Amino acid sequence: MTTPPSIVLFTDFGLAGPYTGQVKAVLRRDAPGCDIVDLFADAPIGNPRASAYLLAAYAAWFPVGTVYLCVVDPGVGSDRAPLIVEADGKHFVGPDNGLFELVLRRGANTRVSEIAWRPATLSSSFHGRDLFAPIAAMLACGEAPATREHAPLRHPLWPDDLTEIVYVDHYGNAMTGLRASALSNDAILSVAAERRIARAETFASVPTGAAFWYANSNGLAEIAVNRGRADTGLGLAIGSAVAVTT
């Protein structure tokens, strides 16, 4: 018996309040045999640009066939198109606002379609529940929703590696949009107040309270403080600039 694909949630809905729960209720109803993976419920709020770099890095860890339900959608209710993006055997469902820019750019084989299917009731403010979740469930169940050809909005001025903080985890570690593989081992990351931060392999490689950057487990350059918080200690938040020097 073939195992159904997982549906991976990547949203800025948060876990407090009803939004994530309502989306999962639709997925349980429409794709009851599929595993639902909570990847991010705290993607950068209303920030498709920063989220695009996170999505591209973290999507790499799931197998071919995975369906990603991706909702960072400040333009919900506008004329932005709802998309299905196929990239290297995976499906991404969400808004046409740049969220899939890095997935498309880094994919070897990609295809983009606009979702033509509509539910009987579509709210103006919750397409994650009413439109994107049913489509993700259809794809996971092997169904082909109605689509039409579409050329997505592209963002050629967005860099391949973003010199900004794109996420702060609950430990206070600050992920950049830079792939660590694009940086030399002796690269210095400079942040607020011209604080210069060198690379270390692990937290234990530096003294307690020392700041450093390292290649995190998902390939991004991440700034941390051993037994401390990089966000409060270094004044870092999503959107903070990071300069690279050697």
Residue finishing a domain among 123, 149, 175: 149
For residue 53, being part of any structural domain is answered with: yes
Percent residues over pLDDT 90 in the chain: 96
Q: Are residues 139 and 177 both part of a single domain?
A: no
Q: Are residues 130 and 13 both part of a single domain?
A: yes
pLDDT the model gives residue 194 = 75
Average pLDDT, integer, range 13-40: 97
Residue finishing a domain among 118, 149, 180: 149
Q: Residue 9, SS3?
A: strand
pLDDT the model gives residue 191 = 94
Give start and end residues of each alpha helix (H) in the chain: 19-30, 48-59, 101-106, 127, 133-140, 230-234
Q: What is the pLDDT of residues 71-97, one digit of tens each?
A: 999 999 999 999 999 999 999 999 999
For residue 145, being part of any structural domain is answered with: yes
pLDDT the model gives residue 185 = 93
Q: Are residues 196 and 131 both part of a single domain?
A: no
Residue-averaged pLDDT of the chain:
96
For residue 154, being part of any structural domain is answered with: no
Q: Are residues 93 and 177 both part of a single domain?
A: no
Residue finishing a domain among 149, 173, 192: 149
Q: Are residues 99 and 199 both part of a single domain?
A: no
What is the domain extent for residue 205?
Answer: 162-245
Q: What is the CATH number of the domain that holds 96?
A: 3.40.50.10790
For residue 1, being part of any structural domain is answered with: no
Percent residues over pLDDT 70 in the chain: 99
Average pLDDT, integer, range 103-132: 97
pLDDT the model gives residue 159 = 98
237 contacts 173 by C-beta, under 8 angstroms: no
- The Cα–Cα gap between 208 and 229 comes to 11
pLDDT the model gives residue 1 = 58
Strands 67-71 and 7-11: parallel
Task: Please say if the pLDDT value at position 193 is more than 90.
Answer: no
Structure confidence at residue 3 as a pLDDT band (50, 70, 90): confident
29 contacts 2 by C-beta, under 8 angstroms: no
For residue 106, being part of any structural domain is answered with: yes
